[in-house]
Structure 1
Amino acid sequence: MKKYQKLLMAGAMAVSLLGTSFTAAASANVIENKAEQTVKQEVQKNDKYESRLDAIIERGYILIGTPGDYKPFTYLNPKTGQYEGYDIDAMKEFAKSLGVEARFVQTSWSTLMDDLLANKFDIAVGGVTRNTDRQKKAYLSQGYIQFGKAPLIRAENKDKYKTIEDINKPDVRIGVNPGGTNEKFVREHLKNANVTVVQNNLDIPGLVANGTYDVMITDTLEALIYAKADSRLYAALADNPFTKSEKGYMIPRGDFIFASYLNLWMDEMKLQGKFDELYNKWIK
């Protein structure tokens, strides 16, 4: 009988301890859930704007990230200290449509994505190529101009470099800017060539012209601009480039309102012939 009573007491204590354990665990879960709810409420409370679009309009200016080294889309003129180019004019029109001031922020091709994701600016422009790698991290607008990767070479070599095979040789010297789609193309398709990374993209055409490098892989649009400005240069394969792509504008992903406004504005620019005017001014 005494043994039976001891067993009953032990069982009761075990149940009591088990119940206490469940209660403590439940209490911990409640506290944790409450903490999560509080954090969410604080985030919601501090999230004043439904969209970045609203924030831009209220603050009165839009921050535009651009490298400033990629003609004809973006160029930081050392004489004036001002940005100029196709996309610079386009963004001034974009800011005008919003009723705000356009403020340009210096970035680079190698830091463009990180700077955008760090909210250093609202939109990235300057000849940004639309591709799936970028779309995985940000949002690319619709395209506004087509182009392809092609070689900028010396005019004397215009019959020498016509194919990937012609360029992909150890004795062919290539100058390329870091961090963008030009370098990506070179690394993927010209592994046998003698490649040098040149930090300032603006320096490469002159280095090709003076014989330091044989080839600059770039976009057909940029190649045509430099060939037009310097008779020593030749934009090879401008009508039949190695690739086909489009330029677009890049914003943080997840903001449907801002993205919709951007794309509608671009539709209007096309309908009103504004992009054609920019093409005629900066490229044709």
Structure 2
Amino acid sequence: MKKWTKRMMASALAATMLMTGTGAFAATTGAQTGQTAAVEAVKKQENKQFESRLDEIIARGYILVGTPGDYKPFTYLNPKTNEFEGYDIDAMKEFAKSLGVEARFVQTSWPTLMDDLLANKFDIAVGGVTRNTDRQKKAHMGDPYIEFGKAPLIRVQDKDKYKSLEDINKKEVRIGVNPGGTNEQFVRDHLKNATVTVVQNNLDIPGLVANGTYDVMITDTIEAMVYSKADSRLYAALTDKPFTRSEKAYMIPRGDFIFASYLDVWMDEMKLQGKFDELFHKWVK
């Protein structure tokens, strides 16, 4: 009996020690887990250096501006100087100045404009970007700065020939259009009977209309006016009654209220000080 009692007491003591040890281990493990989580939280907070892209831009000392460089008068990559120029280029230099940073321009294309913005290849997209709900679904379109519409750029001798959408929407009418933007979308939606050719370089199309390769270029009223002013063979038709009514805006990644708010306030200041009017007279009139 004594041996049995001793064995029972030893077993009970061992069980008690095991249970006590296990509880201590569990408590220690729980404490360590809590400490690890706290450290990770601190690390995450440290890695989040900037509350907004606005702060990041100011800290790095420059803003990356994405632009196609083929859409006069808003953006043009001059082959002689290898520099961007135009309405939106000047505007972005003013934007950078307001931030106290340098404007650095990154060439993109209309088909890749949105993807490049979402891939953080630049901070803002400009160059005659049409403000619409399709783009707003993926990015943030800022306040509008200029109104326009889709209109035909044609030859002077054809100004009495193309007076309506119906006049253009015919198989014998040859249309040249740049890919990936709202011009091509309009042509695909409204000019299905016409003979359409996609021309990769938007800058080539006005000259191809002037020399008779194509009959019509569907573009923005503003671009049509600029090209007709530069080439006496061309005529900007229906600019007083365009096929559509739209607005231009600057596009940034969505979800950053601070950056978007700064952009909107800057836009308001540009309008109040007449800066956009100055740009219009410089690049359009």
TM-score by length of 1: 0.86
Show the counterpart of 1:136.
Answer: 137
Show the counterpart of 1:14.
Answer: none
State, as a whole percentage, how many aligned pairs show the same letter. 80
- Structure 1 residue 164 corresponds to structure 2 residue 169: no
Task: Pick which of 34-43 and 162-171 moved more.
Answer: 34-43
State the secondary structure of the residue aligned to 2:268.
Answer: helix
Show the counterpart of 1:185.
Answer: 186
Show the counterpart of 1:86.
Answer: 87
Distance of 1:38 and 1:67 partners within structure 2: 45
Cα 1:219/1:41, change in 2 over 3 Å: farther
Distance of 1:39 and 1:170 partners within structure 2: 65
Show the counterpart of 2:107.
Answer: 106
Show the counterpart of 1:5.
Answer: none
Show the counterpart of 1:277.
Answer: 278
Question: How many residues align structurally?
Answer: 253
State the secondary structure of the residue aligned to 1:128.
Answer: coil
| Letter of the 2:255 counterpart | G
Q: CA deviation at 1:40?
A: 7.4
State the secondary structure of the residue aligned to 1:191.
Answer: coil
Where do residues 1-284 of structure 1 align in structure 2 (5 Å cutoff)? Answer: 43-284=44-285
Note the residue ranges of structure 2 that are not aligned, 5 or more in a row: 1-29
| Letter of the 1:156 counterpart | Q
Cα 1:244/1:38, change in 2 over 3 Å: farther
Deviations for 1:65-96, whole angstroms, at most 9, x for unmatched residues? 00000000000000001100000000000000
Cα 1:195/1:38, change in 2 over 3 Å: farther
State the secondary structure of the residue aligned to 1:127.
Answer: coil
Show the counterpart of 2:14.
Answer: none
State the secondary structure of the residue aligned to 2:127.
Answer: strand
Q: CA deviation at 1:44?
A: 4.3
Cα 1:118/1:38, change in 2 over 3 Å: farther
Distance of 2:247 and 2:89 partners within structure 1: 17
TM-score by length of 2: 0.85
| Letter of the 1:262 counterpart | L
| Letter of the 2:231 counterpart | D
Q: CA deviation at 1:41?
A: 6.8
| Letter of the 2:217 counterpart | M
Distance of 2:38 and 2:129 partners within structure 1: 40
Deviations for 1:19-71, whole angstroms, at most 9, x for unmatched residues? xxxxxxxxxxx9xxx99999877554422110000000000000000000000
Q: Which has the larger radius of gyration?
A: 2
Cα 1:207/1:57, change in 2 over 3 Å: same
| Letter of the 2:271 counterpart | K
Distance of 2:39 and 2:119 partners within structure 1: 25
RMSD across aligned C-alpha pairs, in angstroms? Answer: 1.9
Flag as ranges the 4+ runs of structure 1 deviating above 6 A. Answer: 34-41
| Letter of the 2:221 counterpart | T
Cα 1:189/1:41, change in 2 over 3 Å: farther
Q: CA deviation at 1:98?
A: 0.2
State the secondary structure of the residue aligned to 1:76.
Answer: strand
